[in-house]
A and B are shown apart, each in its own frame.
Chain A
Amino acid sequence: MITSGIEEKTFVLNLGPQHPSTHGVLRVLLEMDGEYITAAEPVIGYGHRAHEHMAENRNYQQFLPNMGRVDYLHALAFNQGYCMAVEKLLGLEVPERAEYIRVITNELNRLTSHLLWFGAYLMDLGAFTPFLYCFDDREHILDLLDSLTGSRLTYCFYRFGGVPKDIDDDFISGTRAFIHRLRSRWADYDNLVTKNVIFIHRTKGVGLFTKEQCQLYGITGPSLRGSGIPYDIRKSEPYSAYPQFHFEIPIGENGDIYDRYIVRLREMEQSCRIIEQALNKLPKGPIMAEKVPKRIKPPEGEVYTAVETARGEFGIYIVSQGDVKPYRIKLRVPSFANLSLMVESFKDNLVADVVAILGSIDVVIPEIDR
């Protein structure tokens, strides 16, 4: 625990819990030597909602809406992780078309998450204009997902054994038009942000994560790939229909904020590629598995599944004792590990860079507190 040391001539600065750039209720205690940080400690748990405990008191279907609220920015990946785990327990086979719909909606959701990060992060750095452009783009995806899932943020769309609603021609043509539009915006984003001299000076060489540190702390997602490790669950442990698509894993070189930014931008382009391929190859058939029991009561057993969310590896571990309620659910969330390393990398940085590093990880606080 950090205590202010009078002898060492340091003082403690409190960041948060209600600070506009902590993206939620995160409190960070910074021990400062002048303008430099000598130690940092996160204080988490302000938004604790006991999701894991709730799972023990609800049956399998009743826990579905909770998954949209752990990570509200990439809710569909959490939906998918949970559904995959329960399907594995039940031994259900998901139809091909349902898997494709899952991939398409999941990647659209990843785009919204990255676009929101793009806008919110640049707002942290002091640029207001890019926020308006990326939210304009994001709005189109939200409309598309709204027409399919019925909600705009906390989705609860996947069901055990498939998806409840099929995509229609309007959705397909709308998605194609949107991808065309988004691709035409990359040049604007580059001119507005990536090439901007102020942005480059604030991000290059700041908040370095070395490969060793990343492996030590178990961080995943774009933050890890920014440090040059090509690890992506979609490639290393392929799930759903991902093995059928061609896409690359963009990686950075130095592991600074700029690299993490570039990785996210290039990942958005890869998501567009996946969606396009999925729309082109969309098979016909049912969207729900046959013989899905009305009363979900999996046999005894334990199961772990992992999916790649916009922030890294989300893992869910379910212990079933053959009851209608799960005996125990453990959620492995990416932001928690990422936060630990982020706090470490605050050391020897200026206080002005704290917000820049904090935003570059793309932490979602409800996911850490869960």
Chain B
Amino acid sequence: MINYFKEILVGFWSLLAGMAVTIRYFTKPIVTVQYPREKIKMSPAYRGYPRLIIDPETQTHRCIACEMCARICPSQLITVEGIKFPGEKQKRATKYVHEHYYCSLCGLCTEVCPTSALEYSDEYRLAGYHREDAVLDHLVILQLRQTAAGLPVTAIPSAEEIAAAAAAEAAAKEAKAKAAAAAKKPQAGEEVKE
């Protein structure tokens, strides 16, 4: 009988103790952030979708279209195309499309990049109305960011320019092959003589 009443008392006291905790926190300042009206700054390490870095020296991207990122991507979401323009040492990206809708934000593409051309963005509002909203053309995004920063805009090569560059490259290759063949011929002849 005594135990029964004791249990009731202890139980009642435990409820009061719990209430005391909530009342104590009730008087403390509110920590909730009212999201659409207030926003928290993202941490610098935040992994948003990867985007092209604007190189401070050349004021354009560093992508050489090696397709390392396209190959390492677990979901095969990246399409990179590039070509060597006449008078340039390396290939340059003519198309960099990232189909973001399956992206798991693992960051393997930024890690594997040999020229460190990619960085994580701090963009977290990724909702869209159409599937096409999640297809990110990074060269266009780069142009928008360059305009916003007041930098000269990197032009995206047109189809004609790419075709011309491809033709020039093919011609250069052919000339090189011919030169190599021409250089090789006398040598072969010498060998036969001996």
Contact = CB atoms under 8 A, between A and B. Distances in A.
Interface stretch (B40-48, B52-60, B156-164): B40-48
Contacts of A58: 74
A191 B20 contact: yes
B15, B72, B74 pick with most chain A CB within 10 angstroms: B74
A63 B46 contact: no
A197 B10 contact: yes
B120 A65 contact: no
A62 to B, nearest CB: 4
Contacts of B14: 191, 195-197
Interface in B1-53: 7, 10-12, 14-15, 17-18, 20-22, 25, 31, 43-47
A62 B107 contact: no
A-side binding surface: helix, strand, loop or mixed? helix
Classify chain B's interface size. 20 to 34
Interface stretch (A34-42, A150-158, A331-339, A345-353): A150-158
Interface of A: 58, 61-66, 69, 129, 133, 136, 143, 146-151, 154, 156, 164-165, 188, 191-193, 195-198
A185 to B, nearest CB: 10
Interface of B: 7, 10-12, 14-15, 17-18, 20-22, 25, 31, 43-47, 72-74, 104-108, 111, 120
A146 B43 contact: yes
Contact of A65 (B7, B31, B74): B74
Contacts of A196: 14-15, 18
Given A150-B120, A196-B15, A65 B47 contact: no
A64 B106 contact: yes
B46 A150 contact: yes
A191 B18 contact: yes
Contacts of A69: 104
18 contacts: A58-B74, A65-B74, A65-B108, A146-B45, A147-B44, A147-B45, A148-B45, A150-B45, A150-B46, A151-B46, A156-B104, A165-B45, A191-B14, A191-B18, A195-B14, A195-B18, A197-B14, A197-B15
B74 A62 contact: yes
Nearest to A193: B18
